[in-house]
Structure 1
Amino acid sequence: MSKINIIGKASTLFLSLSILLSIGCANHVPSMKTDYSSAMNTKWVLEDIDGHGITDFAHIWLRFDGDRKIYGSGGCNNFRSNYFIENNEFKTQPFAMTRKACSPSLNIQESKFMQALRNIRTMHTQDNILYMTGSTHKLRFSKK
């Protein structure tokens, strides 16, 4: 094989690889940057848990403040805790809650919400919606 032939084949190979890489990258969707600051100092009202709507009369909400506090209502009882970010993961300390007597349906809804909230690890906002995700649960809130 001559040097010209080898250079020609190498150029063709390089061009082919470049095209394949550019096609592969064209479909790449950049990962969403986790921006915890966009969720702070805002009241967020729960819209769904794991893709399922919530009981209409359950007013479940939360708020994060700049002092690393999270507080809100599970629909019946109020809760509060401290949160922190570790290795870009959202984590909470154990929650303190009031203990009101509520209807069975609100108790079930609140229990599902609190279980999901305890396991949340990431969150981001987009178009005035707060998305919180854990290994087994997803929460979606609207800005109020």
Structure 2
Amino acid sequence: MIGRVVGSLVLMVALGACQKAISHAANRPLATLAGTEWGPIQGGVDQFVAFKSEGEVVGSGGCNNFFGSFTQNGRLITFGPLASTKKACPPPIMDAERDFLQLLEQVRAVDATFKELTLYGEDNQVLTTLRRRDWD
């Protein structure tokens, strides 16, 4: 009986320590976006942007897939021309897609942690914050 109680206490302490370590990692700055995938925190349209190695970017605006290039130097970032498929979807989805792609074209800088990516435009104004899609 005492063994079970001690074992349970040890497990609870270990789980608490793991949760604290995960929480701390979520707020640490990310040096590069390569290998990460991000999507809007809220919204009914499944949009995302994925940063691949070698400066390639792919994603979905909600209806069509897009692809192109990006260059990152510290927190400064630029997207090369983005191309997309040309499927038609209902107007609300097409509007959301247009807005998402236009937003990406305006991005000039980023702040990234393991959990969130804040995108900045000209004059360092916040455009939006995205959440890492593989982080829950």
TM-score by length of 2: 0.67
2:26 — aligned with what? Answer: none
| Structure 2: gaps (5+ residues) | 1-28
Identify if the C-alpha distance between structure 1 residues 85 and 97 changes in structure 2 by more than 3 Å, giving closer, same or farther. same
Q: Which amino acid aligns with 1:42?
A: T
Pick from 130, 136, 140 the counterpart of residue 117 of structure 2. 130
Identify if the C-alpha distance between structure 1 residues 36 and 102 changes in structure 2 by more than 3 Å, giving closer, same or farther. farther
The Cα of 1:36 is off from its aligned counterpart by: 4.8
Aligned pairs, number = 103
Q: How does 1:1-144 map to 2 (within 5 A)?
A: 36-37=31-32, 39-47=33-41, 53-54=42-43, 56=44, 58-85=45-72, 89-126=76-113, 128-135=115-122, 138-144=127-133
Identify if the C-alpha distance between structure 1 residues 96 and 36 changes in structure 2 by more than 3 Å, giving closer, same or farther. farther
Q: Whose strand proportion is higher, 1 or 2? A: 1
Identity of aligned residues (%): 24
Q: Whose helix proportion is higher, 1 or 2? A: 2
Identify if the C-alpha distance between structure 1 residues 36 and 132 changes in structure 2 by more than 3 Å, giving closer, same or farther. farther
Query: Could you tell me how far apart the structure 2 residues matched to 1:118 and 1:137 are?
Result: 14
Query: Could you tell me how far apart the structure 1 residues matched to 2:75 and 2:111 are?
Result: 12
Q: Which amino acid aligns with 2:94?
A: N
Q: Which amino acid aligns with 2:62?
A: G
TM-score by length of 1: 0.64
The Cα of 1:66 is off from its aligned counterpart by: 1.7
- Does the CA-based 8 Å contact 2:70-2:78 persist in structure 1? yes
Query: Could you tell me how far apart the structure 2 residues matched to 1:123 and 1:113 are?
Result: 16
Give SS of 2:108's match: strand
CA deviation vs aligned residue, 1:24-54 (integer Å, no higher than 9, x gap)? xxxxxxxxxx8551x221221122xxxxx53
2:15 — aligned with what? Answer: none
| Structure 1: gaps (5+ residues) | 1-33, 48-52
Regions of 4+ moved over 6 Å = none
Bigger-Rg structure (1/2) = 1
